[in-house]
């Protein structure tokens, strides 16, 4: 069925697109000349000259333009002079600087003021410097850009102030500028270093030393439809740099984010390559996300955008048959994204930062920016690292002696003779550590990256490619190819601007293909399912053994013969075109396309099947394709008003997503060699589905910046979504943000000289949520297969065109402080987010003939939290530097209201006043010292424990989480390490081993000595038994599974990454003709500190492969 999104109330967006097409053709050929000014005045203030420039050119002056000395009178005579020449004459010698942004000229005082350089007498005017006089001879200047210790800085940008002239320093830090005159000024900039400004006084050689920047306050951060700096941002944006990502040996970029972004929880649910990650920003907002037993697919994922294009699958797995291999999150779409291609990841969290994205950004926005070409000489970069991975924290199980002793004690407690194959049939001296046997292989990893980049101020390019390979920790089987996962990718970007800088074109594209090869079922699920003295699993011919001396065996290696293969292909492209129509008015549009295709197969050969039960070969194939296109025309206007700058942005969005899915199942193959051909099956079943989603919006933003001191940002959006009924498709959302940089006030500089940054910001706004799946408001029918007279249909869901947008309202206040020239930066952000009009799958009684209906409920969910961030420069000397960064986040979730909750189908899961992730059940108070059985709290004191004694026990969401980073450099050496931490509870071993001595599993070794043995014992575990049907044990076991006894402290501190690098000395690079070079050694997930009684405290799943430890050595060279 095709859903048509009506384009009502959006005809203005169509006009905007027509304007884009018209102006891109009509104005591209217009020629533009640099404005020149003629002014002749006598005895007037400087402001009068600036006003005349405004009249003739349309340029507006802000900043200190209104604070110039009005008593000073000047007489000038300019004829066809450029604006820069006039400003150099008027302001340069008076201790002022100026900068341009479109049609706005910002005037600032020099800090600290430079000494006034007396200008030579001029025939034109006594106040015109020599550089403005063409009679002053021009000369060539040669300079070198370096650090204070003399280390060259290749690729530094050198610009002649007030002109388009400039250059790039070479590998030795050398630059050459022609046509320089006395009085000219040059600016020199380099990433992560403070900018420098140099006055040309006649010397032909310059030494420019750049100091390392104490903070990143003025580095660019990406926001919605633009960029800003951390200093001037009114919203909450956290950035993770490409450098922090690249130094981690990970195959998925999401793995590099854990603990680095305040307010964002990133959880890896399985250690297998390609496994998915759960990403959550500032808590759960929707009831439908956490309530078990509902079918509504409500998403709490943030919006992921790569280079301006929404990533088609977002963070939703398109895997339909791979969950047994990869866990509940399935195949991660980001497994096909090369982490080395990423320049930065910016996370937008509050209403001011996300509201302009409307419903798509209701749960936050993650902006991924890939690397682009930079001006300078053509450069070839080659990077490689190699190493190996191994399974991280595994739970140690009992050895043979411990296991048999536990079983004997259980038989003794039950007063029955000792029996069982582990005693009577198997070798009682044999021991196998199944963790090492199945998952103990070292898994080699390899990454190779090659890129070619370069260009000039007008045209820049980058071409890159990567190959990566991850082998698996599985046991290598006889006659079986190893498990290998490969990724190959290419990425390109091209930026071009016209001579007059009015036309700008940016084109980027990337393609990747992933080849995944895993066991169809995660072998970690079976590690504990065997007695430690189990016999050999292979016979003398290398075939699987299914019986031993008449005892039937389960063979764990069968799972390794059953193969799961995945082949995601990802194509992403973006074209961005902009043109400055008139000074300050720019029209632009972006055109994006994303195509993500996943092909999967699960093959079950006969040799993996127990012949006593089933010998039918089966194969399952699936294709799942998600395609998305987006067009976003925009119009931006910038103008100086008063002492500030006004920026206005309007635009519209057209977006369409389609998902096309098909699955084929075959059985009855006559040979294992034919499993990859569905046509070779004797029985074939086919299913498919198609979904289409359309989204349309108009949006706008107004930003006013008054002298970089007072900043106001207002945004709004009208959203339209095809996921709602005809009269409910459109809604309006918006936000406002303000910031006050009080450190720029006079009282701060006078009384708080140690305060280098003081900023208060706040925001409030709303956004909708339509992430409920497609076609939910329509009648739906399901099929009945082979029902007596044939196949049939039955009604599955009711038509409900009345439900509409879930609404999230966000409030935030924050304080940002910098001390001692920003050597210490501190940020505290408080937020309160409330979501209402909840979209839920409301369960219906059987009499209606339907199981549920999608509708809005007036339930209200609140998340409040505090995010703290501290960055310090601890020590900085010529040779030694030490920087630290720390963040911690607290989030509290609460269900504020839910009318008639007690009579609803959610009464057993939700509690008003408690978190959505609340844990309800029986409270385990220990083991009865007399009986040796678990005891549970009698809450109502009626002398018995039943369902009325269930109560609120705990919150399953993390109480706090964060990270600590340190970076130490000494000369050419660099050492960094990052710790992530989380305070939480999780399921413990009792959730899997409630009756440890039954004999069906091998329990963890740490329970030895902790179970009850005799009356009077104060024990953690109840008495051992091998009798599952013992009434007392079974009743306690049933209650245990509904209690807090199966949960325990799962908090941890993990050394997520440690990296040691060495930069090759300059003399080595000179001999090898290199521009740059370094070697490194890094380890991922090296150490975990935890009291968790289970496996991996991050994965929190006994049946899932733990997170890997990875050791890698690498080298990076630039030619």
pLDDT tens sequence across 390-442: 998 888 999 999 999 999 999 999 999 999 899 999 999 999 999 999 998 99
Helix/strand number for the chain, H first, E second: 14, 55
Better pLDDT: 203 or 7: 203
* Residue 810 burial (CB count, 10 A): 28
Looking at the predicted structure, is the pLDDT value of residue 768 above 50? yes
Q: Which positions ≥6 away from 465 have C-beta within 8 Å?
A: 449, 450, 451, 488, 489, 490, 491
Split at pLDDT 50, 70, 90, the class of 165 is: low
Better pLDDT: 612 or 667: 667
Distance CA(234)–CA(710), nearest Å, equals: 10
User: Where does the chain hold its CATH 3.55.50.30 domain(s)?
Assistant: 36-132
3-state helix, strand, coil in the chain (%, to 5): 15, 45, 40
Q: What average pLDDT does the segment 110-125 reach?
A: 36
Provide the pLDDT for residue 850: 75
Instruction: From the options 3.55.50.30, 1.10.1840.10, 3.30.70.100, 3.30.420.10, give the CATH code of 36-132.
Output: 3.55.50.30
Instruction: Please tell me the CATH code under which domain 139-209 is placed.
Output: 2.60.40.1120
Provide the pLDDT for residue 357: 84
Mind listing the pLDDT tens digit for each residue in 226-272?
A: 778 788 888 899 999 998 998 899 989 999 999 999 999 999 888 88
Mind listing the pLDDT tens digit for each residue in 176-185?
A: 887 788 878 8
Split at pLDDT 50, 70, 90, the class of 770 is: confident
Q: Which positions ≥6 away from 1087 have C-beta within 8 Å?
A: 1054, 1055
Provide the pLDDT for residue 227: 77
Q: What average pLDDT does the segment 471-487 reach?
A: 84
Provide the pLDDT for residue 210: 86
Split at pLDDT 50, 70, 90, the class of 21 is: very low
**Nearest alpha carbon to residue 105 among 127, 92, 93, 87:** 87
Provide the pLDDT for residue 889: 97
* Residue 219 burial (CB count, 10 A): 15
Q: What average pLDDT does the segment 357-381 reach?
A: 86
**Sign (positive/negative) of CA torsion 47, 49, 52, 56?**
negative
DSSP string spanning 187-242?
EEE-TTB--EEEE--S-SEEEEEPPBPS--TTSEEEETTEEEETTT--S-EEEEEH
Distance CA(1067)–CA(972), nearest Å, equals: 13
Provide the pLDDT for residue 156: 80
Distance CA(983)–CA(996), nearest Å, equals: 28
Q: What average pLDDT does the segment 501-519 reach?
A: 91
Provide the pLDDT for residue 1042: 92
What's the Rg (C-alpha) of the chain? 34
Q: What average pLDDT does the segment 28-32 reach?
A: 33
User: Where does the chain hold its CATH 2.170.130.10 domain(s)?
Assistant: 227-370
> Taking the C-alpha atoms of 890, 892, 893 and 895 in order, what is their torsion angle to the nearest 10 degrees?
-170
What average pLDDT does the chain have?
84
**Nearest alpha carbon to residue 803 among 895, 883, 725, 919:** 725
Split at pLDDT 50, 70, 90, the class of 315 is: confident
Query: Under CATH, which architecture does the 227-370 domain have?
Result: Beta Complex (2.170)
Q: Which positions ≥6 away from 16 have C-beta within 8 Å?
A: 633, 634, 635, 650, 651, 652
Distance CA(109)–CA(86), nearest Å, equals: 17
Distance CA(412)–CA(418), nearest Å, equals: 8
**Which stretches of 722-851 are assigned E, i.e. beta strand?**
730-740, 755-769, 780-787, 790-797, 806-819, 824-836, 838-843
Highest mean pLDDT among 98-102, 167-171, 947-951: 947-951
Looking at the predicted structure, is the pLDDT value of residue 848 above 50? yes
Mind listing the pLDDT tens digit for each residue in 679-691?
A: 999 999 998 888 8
Instruction: Tell me the pairing of strands 1076-1090 and 1052-1063.
Output: antiparallel
> Taking the C-alpha atoms of 677, 680, 684 and 688 in order, what is their torsion angle to the nearest 10 degrees?
20
* Residue 385 burial (CB count, 10 A): 24
pTM of the complete model: 0.80
- Decide: 1102 and 395 in contact? Cβ < 8 Å: yes
Split at pLDDT 50, 70, 90, the class of 9 is: very low
Mind listing the pLDDT tens digit for each residue in 723-756?
A: 888 888 899 999 999 999 999 898 988 899 899 9
Share of the chain above pLDDT 90, in %: 46
Lowest mean pLDDT among 78-82, 402-406, 843-847, 1098-1102: 843-847
Lowest mean pLDDT among 35-44, 259-268, 379-388, 528-537: 35-44
Q: What average pLDDT does the segment 504-510 reach?
A: 94
Q: What average pLDDT does the segment 850-876 reach?
A: 89
Provide the pLDDT for residue 129: 34
Split at pLDDT 50, 70, 90, the class of 136 is: low
Residue 646, CA atoms < 13 Å, CB-side half-sphere: 9
User: Where does the chain hold its CATH 2.60.40.1120 domain(s)?
Assistant: 139-209
Looking at the predicted structure, is the pLDDT value of residue 160 above 60? yes
Looking at the predicted structure, is the pLDDT value of residue 614 above 70? yes
Provide the pLDDT for residue 153: 83
Highest mean pLDDT among 297-301, 420-424, 692-696, 960-964: 960-964
Share of the chain above pLDDT 70, in %: 89
């Amino acid at each position: 069925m095709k859903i048509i999104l009506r384009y009502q109330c959006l005809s203005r967006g169509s006009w905007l697109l027509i304007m884009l097409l018209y102006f891109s053709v009509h104005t591209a050929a217009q020629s533009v000349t640099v404005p020149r000014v003629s002014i002749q005045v006598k005895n007037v203030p400087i402001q009068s000259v600036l006003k005349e420039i405004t009249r003739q050119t349309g340029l507006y002056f802000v900043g200190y333009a209104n604070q110039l000395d009005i008593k000073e009178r000047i007489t000038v005579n300019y004829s066809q002079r450029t604006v820069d020449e006039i400003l150099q004459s008027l302001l340069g010698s008076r201790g002022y600087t100026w900068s341009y942004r479109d049609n706005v000229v910002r005037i600032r005082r020099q800090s600290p003021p430079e000494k006034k350089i007396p200008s030579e007498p001029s025939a034109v005017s006594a106040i015109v410097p020599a550089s403005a006089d063409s009679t002053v001879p021009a000369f060539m200047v040669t300079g070198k850009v370096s650090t204070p210790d003399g280390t060259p800085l290749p690729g530094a940008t050198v610009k002649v102030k007030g002109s388009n002239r400039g250059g790039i320093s070479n590998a030795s830090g050398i630059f050459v500028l022609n046509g320089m005159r006395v009085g000219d000024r040059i600016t020199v900039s380099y990433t992560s270093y403070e900018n420098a400004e140099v006055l040309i006084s006649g010397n032909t050689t310059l030494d420019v030393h750049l100091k390392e920047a104490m903070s990143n306050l003025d580095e660019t951060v990406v926001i919605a439809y633009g960029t800003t700096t951390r200093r001037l941002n009114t919203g909450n944006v956290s950035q993770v740099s490409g450098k922090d990502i690249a130094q981690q040996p990970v195959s998925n970029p999401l793995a590099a984010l854990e603990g680095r972004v305040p307010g964002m929880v990133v959880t890896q649910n399985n250690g297998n390559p390609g496994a998915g990650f759960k990403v959550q920003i500032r808590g759960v907002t929707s009831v439908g996300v956490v309530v078990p037993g509902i079918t509504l697919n409500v998403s709490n994922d943030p919006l992921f955008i790569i280079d301006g294009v929404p990533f088609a699958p977002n963070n939703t797995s398109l895997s339909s048959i791979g969950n047994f291999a990869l866990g509940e999150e399935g195949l991660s779409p980001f497994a096909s994204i090369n982490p080395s291609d990423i320049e930065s990841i910016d996370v937008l969290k509050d209403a001011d930062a996300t509201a302009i994205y409307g419903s798509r950004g209701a749960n936050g926005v993650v902006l991924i920016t890939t690397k682009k070409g930079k001006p300078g000489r053509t450069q070839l970069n080659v990077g490689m690292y190699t190493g190996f991975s191994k399974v991280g924290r595994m739970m140690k199980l009992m050895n043979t002696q411990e296991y048999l002793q536990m079983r004997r004690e259980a038989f003794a407690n039950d007063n029955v003779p000792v029996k069982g194959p582990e005693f009577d049939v198997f070798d009682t001296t044999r021991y196998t550590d199944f963790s090492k046997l199945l998952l103990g292989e070292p898994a080699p990893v390899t990454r190779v990256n090659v890129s070619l980049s370069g260009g000039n101020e007008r045209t820049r390019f980058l071409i890159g490619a990567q190959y990566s390979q991850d082998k698996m920790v599985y046991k290598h089987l006889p006659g079986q190819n190893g498990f290998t996962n490969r990724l190959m990718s290419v990425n390109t970007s091209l930026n071009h601007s016209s001579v007059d800088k009015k036309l700008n074109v940016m084109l980027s594209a990337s393609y990747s293909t992933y080849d995944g090869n895993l066991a169809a079922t995660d072998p970690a699920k079976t590690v504990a399912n065997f007695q430690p003295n189990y016999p050999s699993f292979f016979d003398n011919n290398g075939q699987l053994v299914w019986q031993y001396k008449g005892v039937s065996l389960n063979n764990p290696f069968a799972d390794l013969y059953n193969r799961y293969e995945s082949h995601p292909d990802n194509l992403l492209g973006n074209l961005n075109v902009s043109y400055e129509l008139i000074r300050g008015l720019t029209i632009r549009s972006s055109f994006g396309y994303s195509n993500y295709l996943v092909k999967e197969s699960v093959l079950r050969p006969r040799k993996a099947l127990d012949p006593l039960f089933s010998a039918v070969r089966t194969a399952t194939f699936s294709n799942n394709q998600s395609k998305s296109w987006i067009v976003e025309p925009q119009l931006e206007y910038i103008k100086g008003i008063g002492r500030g700058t006004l920026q206005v942005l309007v635009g519209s969005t057209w977006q369409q997503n389609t998902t096309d899915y098909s699955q084929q199942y075959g059985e009855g193959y006559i040979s294992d060699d034919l499993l990859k051909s569905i046509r070779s099956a004797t029985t074939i079943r086919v299913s498919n589905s198609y979904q289409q989603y359309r989204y349309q919006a108009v949006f706008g933003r107004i930003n006013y910046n008054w002298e970089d001191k007072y900043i106001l940002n207002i945004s709004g959006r009208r959203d339209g979504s095809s996921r709602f009924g005809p009269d409910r498709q459109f809604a309006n959302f918006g936000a406002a943000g303000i910031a006050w940089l009080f450190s720029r006030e006079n009282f701060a500089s006078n009384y708080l000289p140690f305060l280098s940054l003081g900023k208060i910001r706040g925001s409030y706004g709303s956004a909708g949520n339509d992430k409920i799946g497609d076609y939910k408001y329509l009648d739906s029918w399901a099929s009945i297969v082979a029902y007596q007279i044939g196949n049939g249909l039955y009604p599955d869901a009711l038509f409900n065109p009345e439900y509409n947008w879930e609404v999230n309202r966000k409030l935030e206040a924050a304080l940002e402080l910098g001390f001692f020239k920003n050597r210490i930066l501190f940020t505290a952000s408080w937020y309160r987010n409330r979501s209402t009009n909840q979209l839920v799958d409301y369960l219906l009684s059987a009499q209606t003939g339907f199981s549920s209906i999608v509708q809005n409920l007036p339930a209200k969910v609140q998340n409040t939290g505090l995010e703290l961030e501290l960055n310090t420069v601890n020590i900085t000397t010529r040779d030694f530097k030490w920087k630290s960064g720390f963040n911690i986040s607290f989030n509290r979730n609460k269900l504020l209201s839910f009318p008639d909750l007690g009579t609803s189908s959610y009464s057993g899961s939700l509690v008003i006043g408690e978190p959505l992730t609340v844990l309800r059940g029986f409270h385990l108070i220990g083991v009865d010292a007399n009986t040796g059985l678990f005891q549970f709290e009698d809450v109502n004191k009626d002398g018995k424990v039943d369902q009325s004694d269930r109560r609120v026990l705990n919150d399953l969401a993390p109480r706090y989480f964060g990270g600590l980073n340190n970076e130490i450099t000494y000369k050419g050496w660099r050492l960094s390490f990052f710790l992530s931490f989380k305070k939480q509870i999780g399921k413990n071993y009792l959730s899997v081993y409630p009756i440890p001595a039954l004999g069906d599993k091998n329990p963890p070794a740490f329970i030895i000595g902790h179970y009850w043995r005799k009356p009077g014992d104060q024990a953690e575990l109840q008495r051992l038994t091998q009798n599952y049907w013992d009434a007392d044990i079974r009743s306690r076991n049933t209650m245990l599974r509904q209690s807090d006894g199966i949960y325990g402290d799962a908090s941890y501190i993990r050394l997520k990454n440690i990296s040691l690098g060495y930069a090759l000395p300059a003399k080595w690079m000179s001999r090898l003709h290199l521009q740059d070079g370094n070697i490194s050694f890094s380890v991922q997930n090296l150490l975990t500190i935890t009291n968790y009684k289970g496996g991996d405290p991050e994965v929190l799943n006994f049946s899932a492969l733990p997170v890997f430890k990875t050791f890698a050595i690498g080298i990076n060279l630039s030619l």
